[in-house]
Structure 1
Amino acid sequence: MLRSQAVIKTLNGSRYLQQLSKHWAHRFDTEFNETSARIALPLGETRLSADDVSLKIDLSAETASALSDLRDVVVRHVERFAFRETLAFEWSQEND
């Protein structure tokens, strides 16, 4: 399993976490509350956590290609919800 993580500085992490979770809840297995979420997408799993100053994104996938695609999909969706601010995504990656 491959993993990739990013911590994004934002005061709206909880809002974006909930918007993304609600957006995908009608199509994918999704669990969420105000500060954490788990979304099972066909490409892999997305886990989110939010606090007062950041949104943490933790992705896992079976292949490097799937992980890259999952990262792109998640970034595009979060940026769509965060259209009022510019977010910086700095990804780290590890192999399990």
Structure 2
Amino acid sequence: MKSFTQIHTEEGKRIAKRLFNHWKHKFEVEETETAFFIPFPNANVFLYPKETTLDVSIEGKEDVDFARLEQVIIDHLNRMAHQEFDVTWQHISDESSTH
């Protein structure tokens, strides 16, 4: 299953980098030119900073508590940005995914 949200901000790279640095002591994080990857024990989180958005994707197994993980991610992003983002998560089951 996958979960996705798009946060409207022009500071996506800075916010993603702060969260990446926050969690690099706890997880084996990876950074590329276009994305930040944070592997949780039961799910993978991808942060894609764009010019006017920060795209956030969570990929996990069906037994992952997506609501809880989504809240953890957005709470941390809010703290890193020093503001409150209003987000709506979209969910895609593996069966409907074309990837």
TM-score (norm 2): 0.85
Letter in 2 for 1:86: E
Map 1:1-96 onto structure 2 (within 5 A).
Answer: 2-33=1-32, 35-63=34-62, 65-83=64-82, 85-96=83-94
Letter in 2 for 1:73: V
Given that residues 43 and 67 in structure 1 are in contact (C-alpha distance below 8 angstroms), is that contact kept between their aligned partners in structure 2?
A: no
- DSSP-derived class of the 1:89 partner: coil
* Structure having the larger proportion of residues in strand: 1
Q: CA deviation at 1:62?
A: 1.2
RMSD: 1.5
- Bigger Cα Rg: 2
Given that residues 6 and 87 in structure 2 are in contact (C-alpha distance below 8 angstroms), is that contact kept between their aligned partners in structure 1?
A: yes
- DSSP-derived class of the 1:93 partner: strand
Given that residues 38 and 45 in structure 2 are in contact (C-alpha distance below 8 angstroms), is that contact kept between their aligned partners in structure 1?
A: yes
5+ residue gaps in structure 1?
none
Structure 2 CA distance for aligned equivalents of residues 74 and 6 of structure 1:
11
Greater alpha carbon shift after TM alignment, 17-26 vs 60-69: 60-69
The percent of aligned pairs where both chains have the same amino acid is 26
